[in-house]
């Protein structure tokens, strides 16, 4: 089968096209013919080697972290899926590789594709939708009437998180460029801060939750807009000891991650708020919850551009250089 993989960590030049044998599914696996996949910042970080201590992949490695496609074979223990089902998924972090014609996915990580979406639209969702769900529903437990700040509302995670927070009944603020203000308002944002001309930390106050997608100075400023007891959840900030424990990291690595986030956690404590790092996990059950919301019309995908499979290099470059105006970049295999 045709794939796009890396044989060593590096920049864009490390990615190359290669033919590999098709995957051999196990008893609990579903073999999927991939129709579309999408590009995520996680792909760049894995390619660059930024996570090689945390996620020690064996090279060569096929990149790609979410997909939509059709089931072509099921393992002997599979009960939820049948040949011909249209599905979507974010494979487990140890079994990525959606920049390929086929992939074997554990049945627990897979869900039927939302009926109202095309394959390209469905492929844009799993990683960012699961990230939004795990941040806002699972960890923050957002309630109606709470105030939620979501950074980069026109980005891949932001476009879905804004809609999900609004669906949960929250008052939603987001940061975006002036050019994308109308889009994020249409998605449900009540307050839009132009990050180029306005300081969100000077305009917002008393928020219950911040979903940080940018890290660095933005994360530090975000702690100031939270009310006492508020929660800052970051997918871009320093990892913490809880994340290390989830990974099953050794004591040395746990201590190192704890040290990385020490400054941020202390700053949060002084503000009377909490900080946590989120690295999303695969979950077919959560995708099924999201599918109900999507098919009901409460969440819609935002796709900036679709590239054919043989232009995966161009798709990666387009996304990495920030050329997408809003939402996700998708690669279409079929």
pLDDT in tens, 174-220: 999 999 999 999 999 999 999 999 999 999 999 999 999 999 999 99
Locate 313 and state its tokens.
């290099």
| Global pTM value | 0.97
Q: Start-end ranges of CATH 3.40.50.720 in the chain?
A: 127-277
Vertex 327 angle, CA 178 and 147, to 5°: 65
Six-digit token pair at 55? Answer: 């996620």
The predicted structure's pLDDT at residue 285: 98
Task: Return the residue matching tokens 């995670």.
Answer: 157
pLDDT bin (cut points 50, 70, 90) of residue 313 is very high
Least confident interval from 152-156, 161-165, 217-221, 253-257: 253-257
Q: Let me know: does 124 contact 328? Beta carbons within 8 Å.
A: yes
**Where in the chain do CATH 3.90.180.10 domains reside?**
2-125+301-332
pLDDT value at 259 more than 80: yes
Architecture per CATH, 2-125+301-332: Alpha-Beta Complex (3.90)
Q: HSE-up of 237 (CA within 13 Å, CB side)?
A: 29
Query: Per-residue pLDDT tens for 5-24?
Result: 999 999 999 999 999 999 99
CATH 3.40.50.300 fits 127-277, yes or no: no
Average pLDDT (96-116) is 98
Q: Quick one: pLDDT band at residue 55, thresholds 50, 70, 90?
A: confident
Instruction: Classify residue 306 as exposed, middle or buried by CB count within 10 Å of its CB (0-12, 13-18, 19+).
Output: buried
Please, which pLDDT band fits residue 254 given cuts at 50, 70 and 90?
confident
Whole-number average pLDDT of the chain: 96
Q: Name the β-bridge partners of 104.
A: 31
Residue 54 has pLDDT above 90, yes or no: no
For residue 243, the model assigns a pLDDT of 85
Distance CA 139, CA 161 (A): 13
Closest CA to 39 of 297, 334, 303: 303
- In the chain, the percentage of residues whose pLDDT exceeds 70 is 100
In 3D space, the residue among 122, 101, 107, 44 whose CA is nearest the CA of residue 75 turns out to be 107
pLDDT digits (tens, 9 = 90+) for 119-154: 999 999 999 999 999 999 999 999 999 999 999 999
């Amino acid at each position: 089968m045709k794939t796009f993989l890396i044989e060593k960590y590096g920049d864009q030049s490390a990615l190359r096209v290669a033919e590999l044998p098709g995957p051999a599914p196990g008893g609990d696996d579903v073999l999927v013919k991939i129709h579309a996949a999408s590009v995520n910042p996680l792909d760049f970080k894995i390619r660059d080697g930024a996570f090689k201590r945390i996620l020690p992949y064996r090279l060569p490695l096929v990149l790609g972290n979410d997909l939509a496609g059709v089931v072509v074979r099921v393992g002997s223990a599979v009960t939820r899926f049948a040949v011909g089902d249209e599905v979507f998924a974010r494979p487990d972090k140890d079994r990525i590789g959606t920049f390929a014609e086929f992939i074997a996915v554990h049945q627990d990580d897979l869900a039927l594709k939302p009926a109202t979406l095309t394959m390209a639209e469905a492929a844009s969702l799993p990683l960012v939708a699961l990230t939004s769900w795990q941040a806002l529903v699972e960890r923050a437990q957002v309630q109606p009437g709470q105030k939620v700040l979501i950074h980069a509302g026109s980005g891949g995670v932001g476009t879905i998180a804004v809609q999900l927070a609004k669906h949960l009944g929250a008052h939603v603020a987001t940061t975006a460029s002036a050019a994308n203000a109308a889009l994020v308002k249409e998605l449900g944002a009540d307050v839009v801060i132009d990050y180029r001309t306005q300081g969100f930390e000077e305009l917002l106050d008393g928020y219950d939750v911040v979903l940080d997608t940018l890290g660095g100075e933005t994360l530090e400023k975000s702690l100031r807009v939270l009310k006492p007891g508020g929660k800052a959840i970051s997918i871009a900030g320093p990892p913490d000891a809880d994340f290390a424990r989830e990974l099953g990291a050794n004591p040395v690595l746990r201590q190192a991650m704890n040290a990385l986030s020490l400054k941020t956690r202390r700053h949060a404590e002084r503000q009377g708020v909490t900080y946590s790092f989120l690295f999303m996990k695969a979950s077919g059950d959560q995708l099924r919850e999201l599918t109900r919301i999507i098919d009901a019309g409460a969440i819609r995908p935002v796709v900036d551009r679709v590239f054919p499979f043989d232009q995966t290099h161009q798709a990666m470059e387009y996304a990495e250089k920030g050329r997408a105006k809003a939402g996700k970049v998708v690669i279409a295999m079929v």
